[in-house]
Amino acid sequence: MFANICSVWYNVLKERHADIQHVKMLKGCVIMNIISLIAMEVEGACRSRNNRFGYGVWSHHIISVAEYAKIMALELGADVEVVQLAALLHDYAGIKDYSDYGNHHIKGAYEAEKLLLMYGYPKDKVELVKECIMSHRGSLNLEKASIEAVCVSDADALAHIDNVPSLLYLAYNQKGMSIDEGMEWVNSKIQRSYSKLSRYGRQLIADRYEATQRMLSIA
Ligand SMILES: [Fe+2]
Ligand SMILES: [Fe+2]
């Protein structure tokens, strides 16, 4: 039953986004599983004209968060599937509708629940995914209720530190900042991201963090 639903949805989504770039982005995803389905759903939202962040939020943020989340989950013994689903969906609400950005952790949890239940994902695991999304935001410093939530929060921060060009793009192109404003904004985002990392997260990104600081002439 679940496999049939997956098959139907995969074909629908494949037709909707059937181009080479999309196939490249999804390379490595195992077809017919929930992670592939959610990846296609989120990638589709990133491709939409409604997405105010541009397609780079998929190619230079979400994919990176999902990769770091998997590394963290394997290292810390968390549920890898839950962590990857939450990583894919953590910014989904703001991508779909920018007016929800201020509360995208709350709206995102609601959207994730709707989507995952529609695909028949188990309710107890849906709750875990929701918790991860609810507590991922570095700016709000929310308590992490599970090891999975730590993985997603860390992965989000690691992806920011690892993708300085995309932060600069956001600052200059999308927020229209001056050179100094942009540097300051990126600097504070990197600092905040680093400060919310767990000990393992800091170990993972130590070299990159130092290089980033040198590049931004902070150190
Ligand atoms: Fe976010
Ligand atoms: Fe994010």
CB 186 within 8 A of CB 171: yes
Task: Tell me, in angstroms, the distance from the centre of ligand 1 to residue 196's CA.
Answer: 14
Whole-prediction pTM: 0.82
Task: Tell me, in angstroms, the distance from the centre of ligand 2 to residue 194's CA.
Answer: 14
Ligand lying nearest the CA atom of residue 42: 2
CB 56 within 8 A of CB 169: yes
Dihedral in degrees, nearest 10, Cα atoms 22, 26, 31, 33: -120
Residue 77 tokens read as 């013994």
pLDDT digits (tens, 9 = 90+) for 116-151: 999 999 999 999 999 999 999 877 777 888 999 999
Provide the residues around ligand 2 (an ion) whose CB is within 5 A: 91, 156
Domain map (residue ranges) of the chain: 1-32, 35-218
H/E run at residue 6: helix 2-16
pLDDT of residue 214: 85
H/E run at residue 168: helix 164-169
Q: Does domain 35-218 fall into CATH 1.10.3210.10?
A: yes
pLDDT digits (tens, 9 = 90+) for 8-39: 444 545 555 555 445 444 444 444 599 999 99
CB 55 within 8 A of CB 46: yes
